[in-house]
Structure 1
Amino acid sequence: MTIFDSGPLDRKLTALETATQLGEGRVSEEMLAAAGQVVERARERRRLSADHTVVGFFGATGSGKSSLFNAVTGHPLARAAATRPTTSEPLAAVWGADGSAPLLDWLEVSQRHQLDGPAAGTEPSGPWSRLLGERWGRLNGRQNDQPGGLILLDLPDFDSIAVRHREIVTRLAGQVDVLVWVVDPQKYADAALHREFLEPLAAHRGVTLVVLNQVDRLAEADVGAVTTSLKGILAQDGLARVPVYPASATTGAGVEPLRSAIAEVAERQSAASERLLSDVRTAAKALGAGDAGGVPAGVGKADEARLVDALTEAAGVTTVVRAVQRSYRMEGGRRTGWPVVRWATRLRQDPLRRLGLRRGDDPQRGTNRAPASTADDPRLHRSSLPERSPAQRAQADGAIRAFAEVTGAGAPDAWRSAIRRAARSHADTLPDELDQAITSTDLGAGKGSWWWHVVNALQWIALVAAVAGLAWLGVLALAGYFQFDVPPAPAVEGFPIPTLLVFGGLAFGLLLALLMTPLVRLGARNRARRARRRLRAAVSKVARERIAEPVTAEIERYGAFREALAAASGRH
């Protein structure tokens, strides 16, 4: 049994189907539907008889198409008359009926004539007689290789006044394996024929034959000139290599060469595959019609960095970083400042707590940590950052648009629109996700520096010394008031030790607090820089997952679409 050359056709059909799927929402629905029909039609044709070659006779009213059909078959099957239209339904002449019924059902051809022997009046030689003669011999018990079956279709006139006739012709022009266009000397240059049929089907030139019928109406000297003129018009249609057969159904001139050409096509049994491959290439070309051949610039590191910078500002990261710096300074001042005045700092609320970014352990209020599953879960926590201003929202939107424009530069308009949609695919949830990224970032809230503990210990030692000195002096003053005889306080270089303890402790504590102030500010700046890096990394992750990755996926989809089109059209 003969089968289709399935390798290249399978690959191209799969590629076209892939391109159709990838193009959904990016390519016009009409083009996608047309490509889908090609895939469906090709697979249906392959499922049906691969042994038969279907040849359709197409022509305008008065071209003598039905008469030529009768001449080629050798049987008066089609009605030929001067009235119009003469053919209202497709008519089939079938050689090798086995397995042809499902194919004819698919073609919606109900009028069928089974012809078992050679065409009447043909000589027992040549491709036509060999093709049909071998089948005839097989049917009579002779052992010969089984040739391919042949189905010739006589179709309604394509310019018929009946709309249904035109619909039949249009449908079957997309289904038959070989197209035979029959023209006459008077209307071979008809614009409707060339503009509506031949030009759109130029890609099928490998399975197209053109017959200049009724040459008996021309002077013998004019046949060559008219044939040359017809070839020139066909060349303009993209059919330069299509053979043209001058013929006359009335006299039989040129009928035998046409039979031989049809027989050779049927013997090769490759017309169906060639036709389907042409359909696939044509559909792929149509799908890529809006593709100017450009390649998107893609997502670059610099582009992503600019996007992250803009989103970082729009998300209020600068406000958070300032709060981190002020929080560190407040906490550092409280830990390293003079203990006597530390209470005053408790009157001010921590900037991070005011923004809802400090949870759990809080040195200001003691330890009162809620369960980790609730208090520290960023999914259940929102910051108290100020609502984004119109300027911030515009900044974020502008950054996303600019990112989409830069990364999609070079792509066709339809795909650039798809890239812009991909960039904004999470625009509704992006503010919340940025907020969660900020709340889930470890800002170091409540974490001090190691040297705070040393300075704090020295401050309390100095305060204890000053209090001890005051107590000592108080005891001495009280004893003198009550006239107790107590020894004088010991002295160092003439200064009483209690007095030294008071003034030394106070001076040391105040001086230490003053010296620690620039160090606390330096530490606050370092803490703010670390917080900015962490916050930017969190924003970068959101930007990558919600903007850059969808854009990259869309660009990769376009690349796969181009690859599929190239494979379907045979470019590689």
Structure 2
Amino acid sequence: MSRHGLAREATRLGARLEALNRARELAEGVLPDTALDDVFQVLDRAGSRRSLSADHTVVGFFGATGSGKSTLFNAVNGAEIATAAARRPTTSEPLASVWGAEGSEPLLDWLDVRQRHYADPVPGFADESSGLILLDLPDFDSTRTANRETVQRLVGMVDVLVWVLDPQKYADAAVHQDFLTPLASHGAVTLVVLNQIDRLPAADVPLVLESLKGILAQDGLGKVQVIGASALSGAGVDKVRAAIRGVVAQRAALSLRLSADVTRAAARLLEVSGDGEAAGVKGSARSRLAEELAVAANVPLVVDAVGRSYRQESARRTGWPVTRWLVRFRPDPLRRLNLRSDTSPEVNRTSLPAAGAPERARTDAAVREFADTASDGAPGPWRASIRSVARAGRDRLPDALDQAIAGTDLKAGRKSWWWGLFNVVQWLALLTAVGGLAWLGVLAVLGYLQLPVPEVPRVEGWPIPTLMIAGGVLLGILLAVTAKFITAGFARARATAAGKRLKAAVSRVAGQHVIEPVEAEIGRLSAFNEALKAAGK
């Protein structure tokens, strides 16, 4: 691959790693920690490997006991390397054969490979400019726990994986289930060698190779290169070298390996998360939630109190002055609910009835229905998370709704323009009636004292004082009755306006404590899916 191509691939890989990390961060608290820890390890390994030598390709030889892995490793390296390998203090230690010492030391330190051999050039295979590191590793089926842990660790760290199998155990479930199948996405950096073919009749070699390819296809590695070889006879060793040389020459193994790791990690997150998007918050669901919360928070009771309070105040200001004073003995409905207080709404509380079992059940049902509707279509863990944030908001609703109602301006103290007019006319009517009574009273006193009684003016035969009394009383009663009808209309209008303001306040509370957290969680799911999609590309 050209330098331009390598740079482009490195940039693409960097973007995928960033997307994977973003998906991991978004999934925290939603997906299991074990899955997120696996992703973090992938990101950590990728960051460490990218900071080390990109000029070296690390090729690991993996195999079971008796597969001839170390013998093949020596055959690929050359006789001189085999001699050096024989001097290893213990077979449990990985051995590195290095071509190109410059820059390899930090990489080998990161791999924790202490046994290092700086190999001589192998014609047609590797020299000092190759930047190649071959690793001979312990048997993956070793009875020693430390050996198995070393193999597991380096399976996730080398750039290229060479699996050395033998004709007797090439179908062993251990290697396929524990290693090959989980690494199906790493086919571009995987090479499978069927070693010891010299032990098979020549006619059986193609059949065994085809059988092995079929099993690998079931593992998801149908496109992996499979080579038959014999480390003892030398058959196929050149093909193994050529395959390794081809991978090294491309200089893309590092990016391909890390890219495969990202693909696998993204697939793992998708498997744990599940696929799908939440339906989201619809306007109808938002309105229904606000309506249900308004009922549960006793908004209808407050609206009724606003209307009754207006009617009571209107009667006190426009009723017949002779009887209107009786209204003062009635308690104001809003004051009884502590909704005429001038106390700051942040510290004020209403005297509305505390939420009982029916109200709590109604609130719970409304929030649950809202969350279920909004989370419809979301994968299981995310659906649970959306419901969880809705429930958390629900627990804060009673106090928040009470504060919202206490802080809503009900316009309860606002006077109506017609009150003053009716009040003036009522007092004029009363004064007229009182004036008529006073006139007649004066006339009665004069007659009682046997004094001359002046003639009373008449209108159509009716004495004016009598007309004044009758007219004043009738006008007062008529005004009081008329005021009741006018009051009823204004009371309905004022109650309706107060209801709208209260419902708007309830809607804001629902938005702050339930709707916005649910929308944020849905947005988190959407961002997670986008990041996961970008990471999986």
CA-CA distance at 1:292 after TM superposition: 3.7
Alpha carbons of structure 1 residues 539 and 148: separation in structure 2 relative to 1, 3 Å = farther
What is residue 60 of structure 1 aligned with on the other side?
64
Q: Paired residue for 2:179, among 197, 207, 228?
A: 197
Does the alignment pair 1:72 with 2:68?
no
Write out aligned runs for 1:102-117 (5 A).
102-115=106-119, 117=120
CA contact (8 A) 1:441 1:534 kept: yes
Does the alignment pair 1:218 with 2:223?
no
CA-CA distance at 1:265 after TM superposition: 1.1
Q: Paired residue for 1:96, among 100, 103, 123?
A: 100
- The CA RMSD over aligned residues, in Å, is 1.7
Amino acid at match of 1:564: A
CA contact (8 A) 1:290 1:412 kept: no
Q: Which runs of 5+ in 1 are unaligned?
A: 136-146, 360-374
Amino acid at match of 1:76: A
CA-CA distance at 1:358 after TM superposition: 1.1
SS in 1 for 2:163: strand
Greater shift, 187-196 or 72-81, is seen at: 72-81
CA contact (8 A) 1:79 1:86 kept: no
CA contact (8 A) 1:78 1:154 kept: no
Write out aligned runs for 1:19-418 (5 A).
19-74=23-78, 75-77=81-83, 87-115=91-119, 117-119=120-122, 122=123, 126=124, 128=125, 131-132=126-127, 135=128, 147-359=129-341, 375-418=342-385
Runs of 4+ displaced beyond 4 Å? 1-4, 77-81
Residues paired across the two proteins, number: 530
CA contact (8 A) 1:79 1:87 kept: no
Greater shift, 401-410 or 446-455, is seen at: 446-455
Alpha carbons of structure 1 residues 285 and 358: separation in structure 2 relative to 1, 3 Å = same
Question: Matches of 2:10 and 2:257 in 1, distance apart?
Answer: 13
CA contact (8 A) 1:69 1:78 kept: no
Kindly provide the CA deviation profile for residues 352-405 of structure 1, in whole angstroms up to 9, marking residues without a partner as x: 00000113xxxxxxxxxxxxxxx3421121111011121011100110011000
Greater shift, 443-452 or 156-165, is seen at: 443-452
CA contact (8 A) 1:67 1:80 kept: no
Alignment TM-score, normalising by the size of structure 1: 0.90
Kindly provide the CA deviation profile for residues 194-224 of structure 1, in whole angstroms up to 9, marking residues without a partner as x: 0100000111000000111111111111111
Question: Matches of 2:364 and 2:415 in 1, distance apart?
Answer: 38
Kindly provide the CA deviation profile for residues 326-361 of structure 1, in whole angstroms up to 9, marking residues without a partner as x: 1111111222210110111111100000000113xx
Question: Matches of 1:86 and 1:194 in 2, distance apart?
Answer: 27
SS in 1 for 2:138: coil
CA-CA distance at 1:488 after TM superposition: 2.1
CA contact (8 A) 2:432 2:469 kept: yes
CA-CA distance at 1:525 after TM superposition: 1.4
Amino acid at match of 2:19: A
SS in 1 for 2:339: coil
What is residue 12 of structure 1 aligned with on the other side?
16
Amino acid at match of 2:455: P
Amino acid at match of 1:112: R
**Identity over the aligned pairs, expressed in percent?**
56
Kindly provide the CA deviation profile for residues 487-545 of structure 1, in whole angstroms up to 9, marking residues without a partner as x: 22222222221221111101110122122222212221121111111111111111112
CA-CA distance at 1:290 after TM superposition: 3.3
Does the alignment pair 1:545 with 2:512?
yes
Question: Matches of 1:303 and 1:176 in 2, distance apart?
Answer: 53
What is residue 409 of structure 2 aligned with on the other side?
442
SS in 2 for 1:530: helix
CA-CA distance at 1:80 after TM superposition: 7.2
Question: Matches of 1:347 and 1:174 in 2, distance apart?
Answer: 85
Question: Matches of 1:457 and 1:551 in 2, distance apart?
Answer: 57
Question: Matches of 2:503 and 2:60 in 1, distance apart?
Answer: 69
Question: Matches of 1:102 and 1:505 in 2, distance apart?
Answer: 110
CA-CA distance at 1:485 after TM superposition: 2.3
Question: Matches of 2:485 and 2:86 in 1, distance apart?
Answer: 109
What is residue 519 of structure 1 aligned with on the other side?
486
Alpha carbons of structure 1 residues 70 and 150: separation in structure 2 relative to 1, 3 Å = same
CA contact (8 A) 2:228 2:236 kept: yes
Question: Matches of 1:68 and 1:86 in 2, distance apart?
Answer: 18
Greater shift, 46-55 or 451-460, is seen at: 451-460
CA contact (8 A) 2:130 2:248 kept: yes
Amino acid at match of 1:72: V
Question: Matches of 1:87 and 1:188 in 2, distance apart?
Answer: 22
SS in 1 for 2:322: helix
CA contact (8 A) 2:367 2:394 kept: no
Kindly provide the CA deviation profile for residues 56-83 of structure 1, in whole angstroms up to 9, marking residues without a partner as x: 00000000000000100102157579xx
Question: Matches of 1:232 and 1:70 in 2, distance apart?
Answer: 29
Kindly provide the CA deviation profile for residues 301-347 of structure 1, in whole angstroms up to 9, marking residues without a partner as x: 00111101100000110110110111111111222210110111111
SS in 1 for 2:135: strand
Amino acid at match of 1:23: A
Amino acid at match of 1:538: A
CA contact (8 A) 2:363 2:394 kept: no
Kindly provide the CA deviation profile for residues 425-475 of structure 1, in whole angstroms up to 9, marking residues without a partner as x: 323321111111111212121223212221111111100111111112222
CA contact (8 A) 1:324 1:443 kept: yes
Question: Matches of 1:569 and 1:480 in 2, distance apart?
Answer: 114
Question: Matches of 1:435 and 1:378 in 2, distance apart?
Answer: 9
Amino acid at match of 1:228: E
Alignment TM-score, normalising by the size of structure 2: 0.96
Alpha carbons of structure 1 residues 497 and 163: separation in structure 2 relative to 1, 3 Å = same
Question: Matches of 1:351 and 1:11 in 2, distance apart?
Answer: 65
CA contact (8 A) 2:274 2:380 kept: no
CA-CA distance at 1:107 after TM superposition: 0.4
Amino acid at match of 2:478: L
Amino acid at match of 1:483: Q
CA contact (8 A) 1:87 1:157 kept: no
Alpha carbons of structure 1 residues 534 and 316: separation in structure 2 relative to 1, 3 Å = same
Alpha carbons of structure 1 residues 21 and 78: separation in structure 2 relative to 1, 3 Å = farther
CA contact (8 A) 1:35 1:283 kept: yes
What is residue 506 of structure 1 aligned with on the other side?
473
Kindly provide the CA deviation profile for residues 91-139 of structure 1, in whole angstroms up to 9, marking residues without a partner as x: 0000101111111011000000011x322xx4xxx4x1xx42xx3xxxx
Question: Matches of 1:110 and 1:415 in 2, distance apart?
Answer: 46
